[in-house]
Amino acid sequence: MLNFLTSLFSKNLAIDLGTSNTLVYIDGEGVVIRESSVVAIKSKVNEEEKVLAVGKEAKKMTGKVPQGLTIVRPLRDGVIADFQVAEKMLNYFIAKAYKRERLLNPKVVVCVPSGVNEVEKKIVIDTSLKAGAKEAYLIEEPMAAAIGAGLPIDKPVGNMIVDIGGGTTEIAVISLGGIVTKSSIKVAGDDMDEAIVDYMREVYKLMIGKKTAERIKTEVGSAYFGPTSTVTKESKIEVRGRNLLDGLPKSIEISALEVQTALKDPVDSIIRAVKETLEKTPAELSTDIIERGITMAGGGALLSGLDELLANETGVSVYLADDPLECVVFGTGKVLEELNNLKKALL
């Protein structure tokens, strides 16, 4: 019985702490939490803020909250922007992962963007420790994504990974267990949603929320109409919002071609960042990448036609990871389970 309790209490966590979503992986069990990185907080004068909902339940409230209730996304551009709310969110996810209020403190490995500075690293570590971690380690997202995608990062060959999350796009060339060339830009899935919101406001004078924009992106969003694209120019979607001219509800129909126009700027920024990273890559590793191709991961990689567009723009084959949405947390989980062997992958 004692051995069982020790085993239970000593289970450790890998966390993909993303701007849009947080995934938690338990050592030996796999992914146990898939939640939105959103917290609903009720505040009253002269009273302490109270957390009403976290994750999916909080996201359902977005755009529908009354006065005194605030929806907070504690991460911005992949890093913690609201220390206190992030700590409460992490506490909730850790407790939910173990399905109990309190356990012996686990070891935690957390993903961070490759562009984080020393102050941001310290914030993530301190937040993890305050949320109950015994030890906290950091791993760069592109490294975790590459490991999760099954790339041979420890071999003397060039592996290129493009991880498009909610707040950042992480691009890296990895060889012999380390990142040789990298780029981190604050343009990703959230910027695509905002671009759709802006387009609807400017072209149709229609105000829509980010949840609606995300639905448009998911259903008819496209970067390129190619032979393998899941969306065609003729694809359409009904959009409902508020008419900015008279303030009344309004419903219109837009085409996938219009959505592609709306997404052009963030998509072009991602393509440009990949090209710039390739330009900085040593010649020998560039040859490997031409032979092996580019691997894409993250929710943003699921945008229809983005892989084809990137291949056309770079002249390099592009492949989608087997599980783009959970690639990063799987890689982090593998590092957690093989901490001694993969410790060099950590920051």
Give the tens place of pLDDT for each residue, 64-76.
Answer: 778 778 888 988 8
Closest CA to 71 of 58, 55, 84, 56: 58
Segment 113-135 shows an average pLDDT of 84
Residue type, 96: K
Look at residue 216 in the predicted model and tell me its pLDDT.
97
> In terms of pLDDT, which residue wins out, 5 or 276?
276
165: how many CB neighbours lie within 10 A of its CB? 28
* Res. 141 pLDDT band, cuts 50 70 90: very high
What CA–CA distance (Å, rounded) separates 55 from 134? 24
* Res. 45 pLDDT band, cuts 50 70 90: low
Core vs surface per residue 265-280: b (16+ CB within 10 A) or e: ebbebbbebbeebbee
* Res. 151 pLDDT band, cuts 50 70 90: very high
CATH code 3.40.190.10 for 189-264: no
pLDDT, averaged across the chain: 89
DSSP collapsed to 3 states, the chain: CHHHHHHHHCCCEEEEECCCEEEEEECCCEEEEEEECCEEEECCCCCCCEEEEECHHHHHCCCCCCCCEEEECCEECCEECCHHHHHHHHHHHHHHHHCCCCCCCCEEEEEECCCCCHHHHHHHHHHHHHCCCCEEEEEEHHHHHHHHCCCCCCCCCCEEEEEECCCCEEEEEEECCEEEEEEEECCCHHHHHHHHHHHHHHHHCEECCHHHHHHHHHHHCECCCCCCCCCCCCCEEEEEEEECCCCCEEEEEEEHHHHHHHCHHHHHHHHHHHHHHHHHCCHHHHHHHHHHCEEEECHHHHCECHHHHHHHHHCCCEEECCCCCCHHHHHHHHHHHCCCCCHHHEC
Chain region(s) in the chain for CATH 3.90.640.10: 189-264
Judged against a pLDDT cut of 50, whether residue 3 lies above it is answered with no
Look at residue 51 in the predicted model and tell me its pLDDT.
84
Look at residue 7 in the predicted model and tell me its pLDDT.
45
Cβ partners under 8 Å of residue 89, min gap 6: 22, 37, 39, 54, 55, 74
Look at residue 83 in the predicted model and tell me its pLDDT.
84
Segment 235-239 shows an average pLDDT of 95
Segment 161-184 shows an average pLDDT of 94
Chain region(s) in the chain for CATH 3.30.420.40: 2-36+78-143+328-345, 158-187+268-322
CATH fold for the domain made of 2-36+78-143+328-345: Nucleotidyltransferase; domain 5 (3.30.420)
* CATH number belonging to the domain at 158-187+268-322, selected among 3.30.420.40, 2.60.40.420, 1.10.1370.30, 3.30.830.10: 3.30.420.40
Judged against a pLDDT cut of 80, whether residue 345 lies above it is answered with yes
Q: How far is CA 303 from the centre of its chain?
A: 14
> Which residues are 139's β-sheet partners?
111, 346
Judged against a pLDDT cut of 90, whether residue 100 lies above it is answered with no
Judged against a pLDDT cut of 80, whether residue 218 lies above it is answered with yes
Report the percentage of the chain scoring pLDDT > 70.
Answer: 94
